[in-house]
Structure 1
Amino acid sequence: MRRAYGGMLSFEHDGVHHLLMIGGIGSKPVVQLSHSGYSELPSGRWRTNEHSMYNLSSRKWSNPSIIGQCIPPVSGFVIEKISNTRAVLFGGLETDGEAKVTITDNIYNIILEISVSTVFWQCVKKPETIDQWPMGRYLHGGAAIITGSNHPMLVISGGRDKDGVTLDDFWIFNIAQHSWIKLDVPHSVSKRLDHSLSVFIMSPSCVWILTVGGSLVTSPNIVMLTELVIDKGEWTVGDTFDTNGMKNEEYKKKYLQHLELGRKMWLEADYQKPRKGDTADIEQTVQALMKNLEEKEREAQFLHQQLEQNKTEKEHEIKRYSHLLQEKDRVEAEREQRYNSQLEEKEREHQDVLQEKNKELQEKDRELHQLQEAVHVYQQRALANDHWVINKDEVTLTKEELGRGSYAVVTVGIFRDLRVAVKSLHNIIISDYNLALFSREMSIASRVRHPNLVQFIGATKVDNPLILTELMSTSLNQELRRNRLTNQQILSIAQDVALGLNYLHLFKPQPIIHRDVSSPNVLLKPCTGAAGFEAKVADYGTAKLVQVDSTGTVMPGNVAYAAPEARDPDQHSPAMDVYSYSVLLMEMTLGSPPEMTMAEREVQAGSVSWSDMKSLIQIGINASPRARLTMAQVIESLKRINIFDTL
C-alpha cells in the first residue's frame, strides 16, 4: 500500500542492494497481508506495520516473513541502521487491535536475516526500576552514532507528546546496554518537531550532530551544529553553532583542529594494528573471528530462544482456545437444555390452558344446547298457538285493488263487516319450508302492537295465504306523486316512521328488521293534526318471508332504498333499515324518487337545502353501518330539527 510517515532501511546481501520499508500511514490497502497489521483511522486513512522489501537489481517488491515481538501498526517513529543486518527503532504512534492509539516509548531491535527473507523483532520496554527514560513521542528526530570504538548509539531529540506538546529534550541510547542518558543542549537544538538529525564523526571521541529543519524553527536556527564529546564512556556537550556561526572563522578553525586530531588518532590506531604475516596479526584476526563467531552464536541462541518462546506461546494459545471452545460448547449445551426445558414447560402450560378452554367450550356448548332446546320449545308453542289464523270463508275479496307487487296483490276485503286490506301471496312462495316460516312470522306479527305500525288482523293458512291488516287511506308514495309535502308534514311523517321502526328494532326476544323501508310501504291516514297525516309502517311482519325468491337468494328489497350490505345476509342488521329510512327522508325532502346507485344518492343528498335534515340524511346513508345512527338516536335528532332552517 502507498504510505508515508514510515521508515526505510538500506542493506546489501551477496552484492545486491535492498530497501526495506516499514509501517506508516496511507490509503486503504488493496490486499491485507496475513502477517501484517492494519488499522483504519477516523480520517479514512490506514495505519500499518507492513514490511515491503525492494530489490534494486530486479526492481521487484516482496514481503519478508516477520517473527518476534513486531511493533503494531505505527507511524511517526525513527528507525536507524546500526549495521548491515541490524537496526533500532524508537517511538511513534501505535494502534492496537482495538484501534486504540498509543504514543510509545519502546525501543525495538531489528535483525535482518536476508538469506531466508526474515525480519526478527525484539522489543525493549522501559524497566519499572529505571527513571532515566524518554517519554513516548512521535515526529521526532533521530540518528545513529557509530564510532567504531564504542557500541552503537541512538540519538533522538524533540517530537510531540501525547498532549500534542512539542518536546524540548535530547537523549542518547546505548544500544548494547539498553540505557539512556539525557544531555543538556540549547532549546534551539532540541525543541523541534518533524525535523532530521545527521551525525558527522570527527574522531573516535568527538561527534558533530547536525539538526536540520522542523516546525517552530526560524533563521538562523534552521541548521544547528552541536558538538558531542565522549571521554571514558561519558558524553558531554561542547559548542553549538547556528547557521551564522558555521560561517565564522572560529568554526572553521575548530573544524580543522578536530579534523587533524581525528586523522592523527585514526592513523595511530591504524599504525598500531599488526602487519600482515605477523603473529600478532594472525592472533588478532583469530580473536576477531572468534569474537564475531561468539556474537553470531549469541544471536543464534537468542533467535532460538525467541522461536521456542513463540512456540510455547502458540501452544498455550492453542490450549486456551481449545479450552474456550470446550467452555463455549458446554455453555451452549446448557443453554439448549434450559431452552428445551422452557419449551417443555410452555407446552405443559399450553396443554393445561387447552384443557381448561375445552372444559369451558364444553360448558358453553351445553348451555347453548339448552338455549336451543328452549328456543325450539318456544317456537313449537308459537306455531301451535294459531290464534291469528282466520277461516278463509270469513274473508270476502272485492275488486277494489290497492296495489300489486312481484310477490303479492293487495285488495280491499270484508272481514266480519270490517273493511280491511287483504294481501294475497303468489304461488311462488308456497312450500313446506315457507309455510312453516310464514306461520312463525304471522305469530310474531300478531304480537306486534304500535300506533305507527299497520295493525295486523290475521291470516289464513289454506291454499294461498291471505294476510289481513287495517285499511289505510293512501301510501306515502302516492301522496308524493300528487303533492309536495311541507316541512311540517315531512317532519311529522319522519317521526311516525322512526317510532315504528324503533319499536321493531327493540322487539324481544329478537329485533325485527324490516328490510324494505320505502315510500310504498309507508301508509298514510288523514288526521286532525297540523301535519294532516298519521303515518304507519306496513309489511313489517312479512318482509323476511317475501324477500326469498325462487333461487333462494336474499334480495335487498327496493334497490333504490337498499343499503350496501343488503345483499350479504351475514351483514343484515337494524342499520340497513336506518339507511333505507334516510333515503326515504331524502325522497320526501326533495319531492323526487331516489337514484338507483349509492354514488348517485350521495350526490342527490348534497342537493338538500334543509340543512338540519341534510345532515341527518348524509349520516344515515354512510357506507359503513357502524357510522350510522340508531333509530333511537334518529328520534332524538328529529326533535331538534328546525322546520324553518332551509338554505
Structure 2
Amino acid sequence: ILDIDRGKWRKERPTLKARWAHSLTAFSLAPGLTEVVEFGGTSEQWAGSNETQPKIADTTLLQFRLVESSGQSQWELLSVVGNTQHGSQKRMIEKFRYTAESWQQSTGEGETAGMERRQLERERDREREEKERERQRVRVLEEERERVRVELQRCRARANQLQERLEEVEEREHEKVVVQEQAIAAEQRCPSWEVKEDELEETEETLGIGGWAVVKVAKLKVAAKCLHSQLIYDYHRHLFRREMDVAARVSHPNLLRYLGARLEGGMAILTEFMPTSLRALVNRRPRQRLPLEHVLSIAIDVARALNYLHNMSPDPMIHRDLSSANVLLQPSPDGGWLAKVSDYGTANFQSQLQTENPGSPVYTAPESRNPALQTPKMDIYSFGVLLVEMYTCDFPAPERRAELMESIDHPRLLNLIRQCLNIDRDRRPTAAQLVDLLHAMQ
C-alpha cells in the first residue's frame, strides 16, 4: 500500500485481506507532470458463486509528462512502478488522455473566461481613467469659469468706476455750461460794464473832440474799502494783496467787480458801488419777512456766484466767508434786488488751503477747522445758514437756528435748507443744483 502522506510503500495490507475483488484508480494532476495511482488486490472466489473473479493487478504508479512535439503538446508515459502489464498501461493512458483532454478543454475555457475577465477589467480601468480625466477637465473648466467670473467682476467694477468718472466729468461740463448761461443771462439783465447815471459826474474840462464824441474829464462813483490805520501790519498787507490777487482772477456778474487798489498812504480797495448789503436789508426788517420772490432772487444770484467759484479751472475756489454782510445788493429794474458776493480776503484755492476757516463761526461748516477737509461744500453749508437768515429776517445764531427753522412755512425751501446743513458734506447739493432747485421754486 502506498502511504501518500509519507511517500513510501507499506508492506502491510490489513484492509485488503477481508475484501473481495476490487479496483480503484486515482489521478493526481499537475501542469507538466501527472502521477496516476491504481490500487488493486489478489484473486479470491466469489462468495456463494462457482465463478472465479478476474485477476486484478497489484498497485501500480504511473508518471506522465507533458511534452511539445511538432508545435503541439501531448502526454507521454514517463515511468511505471509496480504492475507492468501492457493492458493496464494502455488502459491508464487512454483514461488519462480522456482526463487530460477534459482538463485542457476546461483550462482553455478558464483561460478564455480569464481573458474576458481581464479584458473587462481593462475596459473598466479605461472607464475609470476616462472618468478621472473627465473630472480633471471639469475641474479645469470650473477653475477657468471662476477665473473668468472674477475677471468679469473686476471689469464690471472698473466699468462702473469709469462710468462714475464720466458722469462726474459730464456733470462738471454741465455746470460750466450752466455758469456760462447764467453769466450771459445776468449780463443781459444788468451788464457788468453798465454805469448808472447817478454814479457818473461829468465836468466841463474837455480833453479832446473826435468825429462822433467829445472826451471829458469825469468823476465816477465807486466804493473804497479803506483799511484801519491801526491795522496796517505785514499780516494785513498780505491779506490786502491776496484779496486783490483773487479779485483780479475772477469775473462774474454776481461777484463784486474790483477796479483797483491804493497801496501808498492809507491802503484802499476800489470796487464798483453797491448801495446796501443783505445784512442791512434784514436788519431794517426785524422779524418781517422779505417777499418770497426777493428771497429766491437773491439766493439764486448768490448760488450763481458760488457755482462760478467752485467750477474754476484747474482748481476750485472756496469763498470760506459767505455771510449776509458779504452779500451786497443793488436795486434791479424789476423792483427786486441784484446780489453780488464780495470780500475775497479769506477766499482761496482748494489745493492751497492750510488754515482753519477764518469766516464767521455763525456760518461756518463743522469740518472747517480741519484744512484737509475743506471743500466747496463748506460754502454750501454757509449758504443754508444764509437762507435761514433771509427767510426769517433774524440773526441765525447756532443756538437759535433750530427754532428759526421751525418757523419756516415753505416745505420745499425748508427741505433745501436741511440738505445744505447736512453734517455729511457729501450729501449736500452742489451750487449748480442749488440754482436749479431755487429756479423750480419761483
* TM-score, normalised by the number of residues in structure 1: 0.32
Q: Which structure dedicates a bigger proportion of its chain to helix?
A: 2
Q: Which has the higher contact order (CA 8 A, sep 6+)?
A: 2
Structure label with greater radius of gyration: 2
